[in-house]
Amino acid sequence: MTVTPEQKAEIASARAQSATTRRVTAPGLEEILYDAIPILDHGFIRVIDYMGDDGSIVQAARVSYGRGTKKVNEDKGLIDYLIRHRHTTPFEMCEIKYHVKLPIFVARQWIRHRTANVNEYSARYSMMDREFYIPDPTQLAAQSTENHQGRGQVLEGEEAAYVLDILKKDAEHNFASYEDMLNQDSAGNQKDPGRQGLARELARMNLTLNTYTQWYWKIDLHNLLHFLSLRAEGHAQYEIRVYADAMLETVKRWVPLAHDAFLRYRMGGVHLSSGGLAAVKALIAGQKPTREQFNLSAREWRELMATLGMESD
């Protein structure tokens, strides 16, 4: 993880401050507020601000006036019900803001989730840092032969070394060309006083996609949980999944009751089609259903059997 001296000073200053408030706070999240949580080789996430807690979800659902007089187990039961029946608006009453440092190719995948407020570092106004994501050798894998979007067998030995060498050389070479076009080094000094540099907004197009960028990302809890249900899931790309996993831990500190319900009903649960449900009922009745019998595709049938821990024919 790379945090600049300026960012370290900003974090120290923010952590040193405290304020009394009538607003609800989440003690677990307060403990890590502003701290940088390391991700990948140079990335991180930081919780910058938040609004609401588990009680805010309950309050919105009941449309009550104060914090309420219900017991914790009753609040838990209501949150479980809301998650289970996919009620969304009570969760939209809570919001959280992150500062994220991530490789550009991860950012372009991430931005497909259009339900957040985003402000990204601009290479039109500032020079990019000389920092690139270089995968750990254990993450270098061949293209999967079964999943067109996924990875297959991990590369080893000379094959892995060959790929790593290309990634490092290309990133360094392109960044050196980026500096030459700007006529500026990483410290901001002019390289050749007799030459005019290219505009930053043009020079940036030569950078590799593993260059790190940064943004502030603000989202409500409902949409955050949807994001995490897709990106913290086992089939998600590793490089975005590690960010989602870290964010899921911040949700646990922030809204532990909602986090628990989310894990049990969304991450640990399964949604079945009408045909899939009928097949499960047939199995319970002692029958031997087939996918053709319930008009299921081969892929859905495989997924259903895998979920039930059974072999597909």
Spatial distance between the Cα atoms of 279 and 242, rounded to a whole number of angstroms: 35
**pLDDT at site 222:** 98
pLDDT > 90: percent of the chain: 73
- In a 3-state reduction of DSSP, which class is residue 152? strand
Higher per-residue pLDDT: 158 or 29: 29
pLDDT above 80 (res 85)? yes
The tens digit of pLDDT for each residue in 209-263 reads 999 999 999 999 999 999 999 999 988 999 999 999 999 999 999 999 999 999 9
pLDDT > 70: percent of the chain: 96
Average pLDDT value for residue range 41-55: 96
Average pLDDT, the chain: 91
Tokens 């072999």 correspond to 311
The tens digit of pLDDT for each residue in 97-113 reads 999 999 999 999 999 99
Q: Residues 259, 91, 225, CA angle at the centre, nearest 5°?
A: 50
Q: Considering 46, 200, 204, 231, which one is annotated as catalytic?
A: 231
pLDDT above 80 (res 282)? yes
Q: What ranges make up the beta strands (E) of the chain?
A: 37-39, 43-51, 95-103, 117-120, 141-143, 151-154, 212-220
CB atoms within 10 A of CB 116: 20
Asked if 169 and 175 touch (Cβ cutoff 8 Å), the reply is no
Give the residue among 175, 136, 148 at the shortest CA–CA distance from 39.
136
Give the residue among 296, 294, 206, 217 at the shortest CA–CA distance from 250.
217
Is the pTM higher than 0.95? The answer reads: no
Cα distances (angstroms) measured from residue 165 to each of 46, 170, 172: 31, 8, 11
Cα distances (angstroms) measured from residue 241 to each of 29, 254, 271, 299, 303: 21, 20, 21, 24, 21
pLDDT above 60 (res 69)? no
The DSSP letter of residue 190 is: B
231: annotated active-site residue: yes
Average pLDDT value for residue range 134-139: 92
**pLDDT at site 174:** 96
- In a 3-state reduction of DSSP, which class is residue 143? strand
**pLDDT at site 163:** 93
Q: What is the DSSP string of 241-268?
A: HHHHHHHHHHHHHH-HHHHHHHIIIIIS
Give the residue extent of every domain in the chain. Answer: 5-127+210-267, 137-206, 274-307
Tokens 């914090």 correspond to 67
Q: Which CATH architecture has domain 5-127+210-267?
A: 2-Layer Sandwich (3.30)
